[in-house]
């Protein structure tokens, strides 16, 4: 897998933070856990149930040592959200996220969560404007 980064951009690979001083392409030759800076959510942006789950999963990617404790938190948040949401897409998506986390596929779980933001927005604010998702 080739990843192209701009000057000054960061990437998190297996818990290490790497910053590029110039534009570069990195080729990952094995299965590595990575997170691009563009997908990093700040704590103050974790304002909805799905974004809170995303933030916890993100921490699992950024700090693999802390992952076991954060798995418990993520499962609790997923269970709570599953009991709250009524939309079939959200319930199914949360089930998928839980399975991905159990298989240590955190990046895929984060991608799935991002795909559910619009459903969450519609359920939480019916008839309201759908805001554009953050970079996360």
Report pLDDT digits (tens) over 41-89: 999 999 999 999 999 999 998 888 888 999 999 999 999 999 999 999 9
Contact 116, 31 (CB under 8 A): no
On whether residue 132 sits in a domain, the answer given is no
Q: Do residues 48 and 70 share a domain?
A: yes
Q: Do residues 54 and 120 share a domain?
A: yes
What pLDDT is attached to residue 102? 95
Contact 97, 109 (CB under 8 A): yes
Q: Do residues 10 and 31 share a domain?
A: yes
For the stretch 104-115, pLDDT in tens is: 898 899 999 999
On whether residue 113 sits in a domain, the answer given is yes
Q: Do residues 87 and 104 share a domain?
A: yes
Q: Do residues 31 and 45 share a domain?
A: no
Q: How many domains does the chain have?
A: 2
Contact 112, 134 (CB under 8 A): no
What pLDDT is attached to residue 129? 60
**Percent residues over pLDDT 70 in the chain:** 93
- Picking from 108, 106, 22, 17, the residue whose alpha carbon sits closest to that of residue 70 is 106
Contacting residues for 51 by C-beta, under 8 A, at least 6 apart: 41, 45, 113, 117, 136
- Picking from 4, 3, 96, 85, the residue whose alpha carbon sits closest to that of residue 49 is 85
Q: Do residues 8 and 25 share a domain?
A: yes
* Residue whose entry in the numeric block shows the structure tokens 């269970």: 79
Check pLDDT > 90 for residue 97: yes
On whether residue 136 sits in a domain, the answer given is no
On whether residue 70 sits in a domain, the answer given is yes
Q: Do residues 78 and 23 share a domain?
A: no
Q: Do residues 30 and 74 share a domain?
A: no
- Residue range(s) defining the domain that contains residue 86: 41-124
For the stretch 9-51, pLDDT in tens is: 999 888 788 999 999 999 988 877 788 888 899 999 999 999 9
Contact 136, 44 (CB under 8 A): no
Quick check: helix, strand or coil at residue 12?
Answer: strand
On whether residue 133 sits in a domain, the answer given is no
């Amino acid at each position: 897998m080739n990843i192209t980064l701009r000057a000054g951009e960061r990437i998190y690979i297996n818990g290490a933070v790497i910053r590029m001083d110039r534009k570069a392409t990195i080729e990952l030759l094995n299965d590595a856990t990575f997170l691009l800076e563009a997908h990093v959510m700040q704590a103050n942006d974790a304002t909805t149930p799905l974004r809170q789950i995303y933030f916890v999963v993100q921490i699992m990617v950024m700090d693999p040592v802390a992952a076991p404790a954060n798995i418990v938190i993520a499962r609790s948040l997923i269970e709570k959200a599953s009991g709250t949401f009524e939309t079939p897409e959200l319930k199914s998506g949360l089930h998928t996220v839980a399975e991905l986390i159990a298989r240590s596929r955190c990046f895929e779980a984060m991608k799935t969560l991002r795909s559910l933001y619009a459903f969450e927005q519609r359920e939480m604010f019916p008839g309201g404007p759908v805001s554009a998702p953050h970079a996360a």
